[in-house]
Structure 1
Amino acid sequence: MYLGAIEPLNPVLLQLGPLTVYWYGFIIGAGALLALWVATREADRLGFDKNIMVDLVLIAIPIAILGARLYYVTFQWDYYSKNPGDILKIWEGGLAIHGGLIAAVVTAIVFTKVKGISFWKVADIAAPSIILGQAIGRWGNFMNQEAHGDAVTREFLEGLHLPEFIINQMYIQGTYYEPTFLYESLWNLTGFAILLLLRKVNLKRGELFLTYVIWYSIGRFFIEGLRTDSLMIFDLLRTAQVISIVLIIVAVALIIVRRLTGQANKRYLEN
């Protein structure tokens, strides 16, 4: 193939006069809507008011996006302090999932406390939806040609048996790159399937969500080590890897402590 003929996919989905709709935002939005649909179906199945899930999502999503952007900008402050006009350009990428998750969890804790309902019950219902939304959202990175790994050969990508459109999109400014966005998407889809199966196991309340935290964090730790665009702490440690280790430790500790202290006194399928 003549490499000069390989053009990246257009990041713009629609141009309606002055309004530009980017694939990045569309894919993230589509992932959020599908995730909400999955969560409300499960809420219905459990006899839980699905409107509570809708209300929470309507509040949590914009706060999560803000948290994801602030997190990213904070760890890239050397650039954004010199280019403040770029801070709002989220369509160009730059949403850190950990920042979004932290903001969403804090929002959910406050929301459930105000509503007088169990945070852990809501978190368990939402857990498969969250990881499904993350799996879909990674394709926004694909459209922006970001969240990739080191330079590789075309033969390496072909050896992964990838479709042509993915291989071509991994050709960035004359070099092929490892599709780490795809690794994480597939890891998250696997996690989604596992969480759906664990629903039938009827774990202690809160443990489905904590299993999600552990599963996602394990995958993110290893995949982050392959990436070339990691946010860094003091130029020494990859931020996502540090956060992933902390989350795994905290999640495991919570499972143990909640069981030992009797806080996990109900199971997933109980009202």
Structure 2
Amino acid sequence: MSFIEITVDPVVASLGGYALRWYGVFLALGVLVGLGVTFREARRRGLPDETVNAAAFWGLLAGLVAARLFHVVDYFEYYRLNPQLVLALHQGGMSLLGGLLVGGGVAALVCRRRGLSPAAALDAAAPGLAFGIAVGRLGTLINGDAAGNPTTLPWAVIYRQPDSLAYQLDLPVHPYPAYEILLSLGILGLLAAAGPRLRRPGAAFGLWAVLFGLGRLALTLTRPEPAVLFNIRQSQVLSVVLVLIGLTVLWQSTRRPAVVAAAEPVVPVTEHGP
């Protein structure tokens, strides 16, 4: 049976002991794309630029730190034996869910302190999150640092580059990052289609959180991960937390009035025209 072979060198360029990998390139692109979509959506919704920028900055900073810390905790035994690698960010290793939860929480706090509804700001961020995650996962797919379980499905991938983290497996595996890309793009399309009906503050973000959390919970079955406690994985716990947050936000949104788009200004008409 033939499988999809990934032969792209995961290293884009090397300088001294530092290797720039596609993971880092697409992570940066994903952040930029996600922020761009979020800022555009925030302006469309009439949110104040200064507050949105501050929330994005502190949320992103906290999210990146948390993403690394959650990853280190998840693979604690490895980093206990190799403590010098804890800060080796160029080698990859980030917990997306951990970063999203902490970063989103910090961004919401910044908005609240500045007098902006966190629900309104998170609604503006929902499509940016979906699009940014899809872009960022392209690098993970190339590098093979989030390879799935071995499988014989026709869309399985096998990594042929010795520098790939999945090369040593020498087995066809689930293209886990591709699943997450499709999940995020599907949610993005749903948000776009349901946009006119998501007028209550918090509805868009709540929908994204529930769908992405459920999707990630299901996808954990296709990827090997260490168990934290009672054979439960960290990603499963964080996925459930995200779903619960989404459900809470959705419930709260039903108690808020719908936001109606501002009407076009009426131009008075005289006998001589406008």
TM-score range, shorter chain: 0.7 to 0.9
For structure 1, list consecutive stretches of 5 or more residues without a partner in the other structure: none
Q: What SS does the aligned partner of 2:201 have?
A: coil
Q: Which amino acid in structure 2 is aligned with residue 134 of structure 1?
A: I
TM (norm. structure 1) is 0.83
> Which piece of structure 1 moves more, 197-206 or 115-124?
197-206
The one-character-per-residue Cα deviations of 1:199-225 (angstroms, maximum 9, x if unpaired) are 222431101101000010111011111
Contact 1:93 1:144 in 2 (8 A): no
Q: What SS does the aligned partner of 2:69 have?
A: helix
Confirm whether residue 232 of structure 1 aligns to residue 227 of structure 2: yes
Q: What SS does the aligned partner of 1:139 have?
A: helix
TM (norm. structure 2) is 0.83
What does residue 81 of structure 2 align with?
Answer: 82
Contact 2:210 2:242 in 1 (8 A): yes
Q: What SS does the aligned partner of 1:21 have?
A: strand
The CA distance in 1 between the partners of 2:124 and 2:53, in whole Å, is 12
> Which piece of structure 1 moves more, 85-94 or 243-252?
243-252
Confirm whether residue 185 of structure 1 aligns to residue 181 of structure 2: yes
The CA distance in 1 between the partners of 2:100 and 2:227, in whole Å, is 18
Contact 1:135 1:188 in 2 (8 A): yes
1:109-128 alignment runs, 5 A limit: 109-128=108-127
> Which piece of structure 1 moves more, 8-17 or 135-144?
8-17
The CA distance in 2 between the partners of 1:210 and 1:36, in whole Å, is 19
Contact 1:204 1:268 in 2 (8 A): no
Contact 2:98 2:238 in 1 (8 A): no
The CA distance in 2 between the partners of 1:240 and 1:255, in whole Å, is 22
1:197-208 alignment runs, 5 A limit: 197-208=193-204
What does residue 210 of structure 1 align with?
Answer: 206
Q: Which amino acid in structure 1 is aligned with residue 173 of structure 2?
A: Y
The CA distance in 2 between the partners of 1:185 and 1:7, in whole Å, is 17
Q: Classify 1:36/1:15 alpha carbon distance in 2 versus 1 (closer, same or farther; 3 Å).
A: same
Structure 1 residue 18: deviation in Å? Answer: 6.7
Q: Which amino acid in structure 1 is aligned with residue 257 of structure 2?
A: N
Structure 1 residue 190: deviation in Å? Answer: 0.8
Confirm whether residue 245 of structure 1 aligns to residue 237 of structure 2: no
What does residue 61 of structure 1 align with?
Answer: 60
The CA distance in 2 between the partners of 1:115 and 1:39, in whole Å, is 18
Confirm whether residue 32 of structure 1 aligns to residue 27 of structure 2: no
Structure 1 residue 257: deviation in Å? Answer: 4.6
More helix by share: 1
The CA distance in 2 between the partners of 1:227 and 1:237, in whole Å, is 13
Contact 2:108 2:122 in 1 (8 A): no
For structure 2, list consecutive stretches of 5 or more residues without a partner in the other structure: 263-274
> What RMSD in Å do the two structures reach over aligned CA positions?
2.7
Q: What SS does the aligned partner of 1:48 have?
A: coil
> Which piece of structure 1 moves more, 132-141 or 212-221?
132-141
Contact 2:6 2:158 in 1 (8 A): no
Q: Which amino acid in structure 1 is aligned with residue 190 of structure 2?
A: I
The CA distance in 2 between the partners of 1:215 and 1:167, in whole Å, is 29
The CA distance in 2 between the partners of 1:31 and 1:223, in whole Å, is 21
Confirm whether residue 148 of structure 1 aligns to residue 147 of structure 2: yes
Q: What SS does the aligned partner of 1:225 have?
A: helix
Structure 1 residue 269: deviation in Å? Answer: 4.8
1:4-19 alignment runs, 5 A limit: 8-16=7-15
The CA distance in 2 between the partners of 1:119 and 1:253, in whole Å, is 13
> Which piece of structure 1 moves more, 118-127 or 191-200?
191-200
What does residue 129 of structure 1 align with?
Answer: 128
Q: Classify 1:132/1:16 alpha carbon distance in 2 versus 1 (closer, same or farther; 3 Å).
A: same
The CA distance in 1 between the partners of 2:38 and 2:252, in whole Å, is 27
Q: What SS does the aligned partner of 1:81 have?
A: helix
Q: What SS does the aligned partner of 2:172 have?
A: strand
Please tell me whether Structure 1 or Structure 2 has the larger radius of gyration of its CA atoms.
2
Q: Percent identity?
A: 26
Contact 2:18 2:90 in 1 (8 A): no
What does residue 172 of structure 1 align with?
Answer: 167
The CA distance in 1 between the partners of 2:86 and 2:7, in whole Å, is 24
